[in-house]
A = this chain, B = another copy of it.
């Protein structure tokens, strides 16, 4: 089956039935995918405030009602405990398990945060003719912990994590304009050029993901990354937090192009 041309609703059905447990990159092309963080209500205000203060690294697409497994905006008939192909559960900051279904862990005071994902702007970059190296090289985007302090909120604080894409000189302005038009999925770059300026010591050794080739006529361009909120949550070592497993996202009913408005 070619998942790329299937509607989000149909792909989510296969995921819910346990028939898809793989990363979701490329599935339901043109539709936005989202990161997940589930937290108990007593941490939800601080986390939402953190997102409000750090919208570039933590662009919220939807927050569920307290205790509600469904979503109202991102898609029809979603069960957030079943419709992601792989979940991670962290207890007191330690990964205690990976699951394809977390319904049995759900509690009445849980709140789901769905966070924008750079998949959305990458499809726009490609459409605009800007190369996206980690897709060309079929690996994970390289991500780095920077020296940029996020604005703290309540118990949450930490450094911004960025993703890097090498961009040819004659495409840099275009890449700023294309992604800057999509603030709900990280928006414009946070830095262009010398990695040392934002505290990155070795561009060939990312903190997460894989290194990619940077060609002679290219400059590393850095975008705020959705790993930031996860990393900030982990700093706090909450009693429990449930997230998607890396690359295993929620496929939403929202078209990437609708994230521009």
User: Which residues of A come within 8 Å of B, CB atoms?
Assistant: 41, 44-45, 48-49, 51-53, 60, 63, 65-66, 72-73, 151, 153-154, 183
Contact = CB atoms under 8 A, between A and B. Distances in A.
A-B residue pairs, 3 tightest by C-beta: A45-B45, A48-B48, A49-B63
Nearest to A187: B261
Given A48-B49, A183-B183, 12 more contacts: A41-B45, A44-B45, A45-B45, A45-B48, A49-B63, A52-B52, A52-B60, A52-B63, A53-B73, A65-B153, A65-B154, A73-B151
B49 A151 contact: no
A65 B211 CA distance: 39
Contacts of A72: 151
Nearest to A72: B151
Contacts of A65: 153-154
Contacts of A73: 53, 151
A63 B152 CA distance: 12
Contacts of A44: 45
Nearest to A66: B154
Contacts of A53: 63, 73
A36 to B, nearest CB: 16
Q: Which of A41, A48, A51, A72 has the most CB of B within 10 A?
A: A48
A48 B44 CA distance: 10
A61 to B, nearest CB: 10
Q: Which of A45, A66, A151 has the most CB of B within 10 A?
A: A45
Contacts of A51: 52
A53 B64 CA distance: 10
